[in-house]
Amino acid sequence: MPRTSVFYRSILPAAALVAVAAFAPYARAWENEGHRMINRLAATNLPADVPAFLTTSAAIDEIEYLGPEPDRWRSPAEPELSAAQAPEHFIDLEPADALGPLPARRLDFEAKVFAANQRPEKIGLQPWEADEVWERLKAAMREYRTLRATHKDTKPVEQAIIFYAGWLGHYVADASQPLHTTVQYNGWTGPNPNGYTTSRQIHHVFEGVFVAANIHPADIQAHMTAAKVIKGEMFPAYVAYLRTTFSNVEKLYQLEKGGGFEGAGTAETRAFTAERLAAGASMLRDMIYTAWIDSATPVADPYAQPTPAPAKK
């Protein structure tokens, strides 16, 4: 979703807001079709050794439904929620990188931004939100293992896991869209020697109109990678994923300049778009699977009392 859309909706007349609300569930946009396809494909391509409850049709349907969920929180009816979580959908890597390496912890990054007399909500907080939701998912999976091992009811934690997986999918999907990683998020700004579009419609046309009209699950599935466990720490792996997405920003503008996102587009633009969606579905699947594998690693009980030292003789 373009980050400015909530602002523009907030200044619409009340009657217009009612009309937007009435038709919003039926809007054909990346925030709906694209997010739902990414979540569903990630869930249906999980390896066979994940818990069986994650592969039921009910779980897959719920994970799919939750794909657009954070966009449902971006309404003038909930202004504080909208303002607080809007920066979690994007990161402008150009100003972020100008501050130095991205720290793994959100508050450390925010401190760097404030020290540079800038605002975190202007740069974006995408990778930190994704990493934090992933850690919630991993913690819930660890609890599932504990409950199952002790023959206790796992139904409540299963619901939490499904929710976290679906919620995570939204941010992973946003991070596969090049325009969510750059200051050039909705029309080229600043020096423009290549004559790229300055239209404020490119974001919606690419992720909304073009995807809804031309991209189908089978197109995305054909570009998905083989499932794998993500090795090492998740945050740097996720940042690397974001940087791959960022490397496609100028390619997107080049394709747009050639009229590639008009109507049915071209074979090249359809493949480009399907590959970007497939990158999101593949990364989400791998993050869910990695959370399951990593949840088997024992962790210290934070509430355990230290063992007293033996008395000296």
Confirm if 181 and 242 have CB atoms less than 8 A apart: yes
Residue 91 β-bridge partners: 124
Mind listing the pLDDT tens digit for each residue in 105-132?
999 999 999 999 999 999 999 999 999 9
What is the rounded CA–CA span in Å between residue 44 and residue 281? 10
Structure tokens at 23: 């038709």
Tokens 């994704």, residue located: 130
Q: Rounded to an integer, what distance in angstroms lies between the CA atom of residue 291 and that of residue 211?
A: 29
Q: Which fold has domain 24-294?
A: P1 Nuclease (1.10.575)
Contacts of 67 (CB under 8 A, 6+ apart): 35, 36, 37, 38, 39, 40, 166, 169, 170, 173
- Of 9-18, 121-130, 136-145, least confident by mean pLDDT is 9-18
Q: At which residue do the structure tokens 């394709």 appear?
A: 255
214-218: which pairs have CB atoms within 8 A and are 24 or more residues apart? Answer: 214/264, 214/265, 214/270, 214/273, 215/33, 215/34, 215/37, 215/270, 215/273, 215/274, 215/277, 217/37, 217/40, 217/41
- Domain residue extents for the chain: 24-294
Which candidate, 221, 220, 224, 211, places its Cα nearest to that of 283?
A: 224
Dig out the tokens for 267 from the structure.
Answer: 């074979």
Those residues with Cβ within 8 angstroms of residue 199's Cβ, 6 or more apart along the chain or in another chain: 187
CB 161 within 8 A of CB 141: yes
pTM (2 d.p.): 0.88
Average model confidence (pLDDT) for the chain? 90
Q: Can you say how many angstroms the Cα of residue 14 is from the centroid of all Cα atoms in its chain?
A: 31
φ/ψ region of 263 (left if φ > 0, alpha if ψ in -120 to 50, else beta) reads left
Give the tens place of pLDDT for each residue, 275-311: 999 999 999 999 999 999 999 999 987 777 766 666 6
Mean pLDDT computed over 135-141: 98
Give yes or no for a contact between 144 and 51, defined as CB atoms under 8 angstroms apart. yes
> Residue 91: phi, psi to the nearest 5?
-145, 130
pLDDT band at 272 (very low <50, low <70, confident <90, very high): very high
Residue with tokens 């976290």: 164
Residues whose CB falls within 8 Å of the CB of residue 158, separated by 6 or more in sequence, listed in order: 51, 53, 144
Provide the pLDDT confidence category of residue 66 given band limits of 50, 70 and 90: very high
User: What is the DSSP code (8-state) at residue 309?
Assistant: P
Whole-angstrom Cα distance, residue 204 to residue 102?
29
Average pLDDT, stretch 57-68?
98
- Which residues does 304 contact at the CB level (< 8 Å), separation at least 6? none
Residue 65 burial (10 A CB sphere; 0-12, 13-18, 19+)? middle
Better pLDDT: 204 or 20: 204
Q: What is the mean pLDDT of residues 245-273?
A: 97
